[in-house]
A and B are shown apart, each in its own frame.
Chain A
């Protein structure tokens, strides 16, 4: 999917975290190879630090932080969020332009949002 988004400046933060019983080890070669895109940076978060931050932020504003996703488990996972340029993380985990889970179910919507965002950037760059 990332291949279809041509924006070379886009950054993808992939955070692996243990959720299932089989997640007793850090992500192996097969896992990290699932995201071969050069714009990606991958992390291993065994203590669910990011998940905890997202949960805390979602307590006050679930719709903006989690999108249509509703927290059912203790850990936020299989989750994706899209941020347009300009969004900064200062206090709580920032609200996303688009967020959802599970990834396989929202990937088409995410793709549309990314293309739209990229197109908007392209047109604004052309206008400058």
Chain B
């Protein structure tokens, strides 16, 4: 083991602790953590589409936590409050966009509403029309 490794580890640990404490102090007035988590999970839900319901639910929860934390930090200066509102608005916008994207568009006139796919329900619908010709199509939206 090189002789200088323990001291470099110590430096790294103390730097990390300093960054963490600075972030913690900042988050007292600016709930960056929850808002970033909300924005991050909302963004991730666009990539991991199969996890979308959970990620969106988590994003909404983090948004609520962030709002509560922001309202609690009453001793912050005006600039901090403005930054709070800006970050809150950005996070809310992103989460709202993902929520909007999660809901399918309205079906064309005369068709039933576009619904989330459930295997059992689909099988029932397929069998309910067993006396008819049926076409099943799998497509990508884009």
On A, residues with C-beta under 8 Å from B are 7, 9-20, 22-29, 31-33, 35-38, 40-51, 53-54, 76-89, 96, 103, 110, 114, 117-118, 121
Complex Cα distance A45/B101, Å? Answer: 14
Ranked nearest first, the 3 interchain pairs of A and B with the lowest CB-CB distance are A25-B101, A45-B117, A24-B46
| Chain A residue nearest to B115 in the complex (CB) | A43
User: Is B74 part of the contact surface with A, judged by Cβ < 8 Å?
Assistant: no
Report the contact-size class of chain B (Cβ under 8 Å from the partner): 35 or more
Smallest beta-carbon distance B24→chain A, Å: 33
Complex Cα distance A29/B105, Å? Answer: 5
Among B122, B135, B141, the residue within 8 A (CB) of A80 is: B135
Contacts A27-B114, A42-B114, A50-B119 given: A85-B139 contact, CB under 8 Å? no
On B, residues with C-beta under 8 Å from A are 45-47, 49-50, 52, 101-112, 114-119, 122-123, 125-127, 129-142
Smallest beta-carbon distance A13→chain B, Å: 5
Residues of chain B contacted by A11 (CB below 8 angstroms): 125, 129, 132-135
A47 touching B50, Cβ below 8 Å: yes
Residues of chain A contacted by B129 (CB below 8 angstroms): 11
Complex Cα distance A121/B109, Å? Answer: 27
Complex Cα distance A70/B106, Å? Answer: 33
Complex Cα distance A16/B105, Å? Answer: 12
B139 touching A14, Cβ below 8 Å: yes
16 cross-chain CB contacts under 8 A: A10-B134, A11-B135, A12-B137, A13-B126, A13-B134, A14-B139, A24-B101, A25-B46, A26-B105, A47-B50, A78-B139, A81-B137, A82-B134, A82-B135, A85-B130, A85-B133
Complex Cα distance A9/B118, Å? Answer: 23
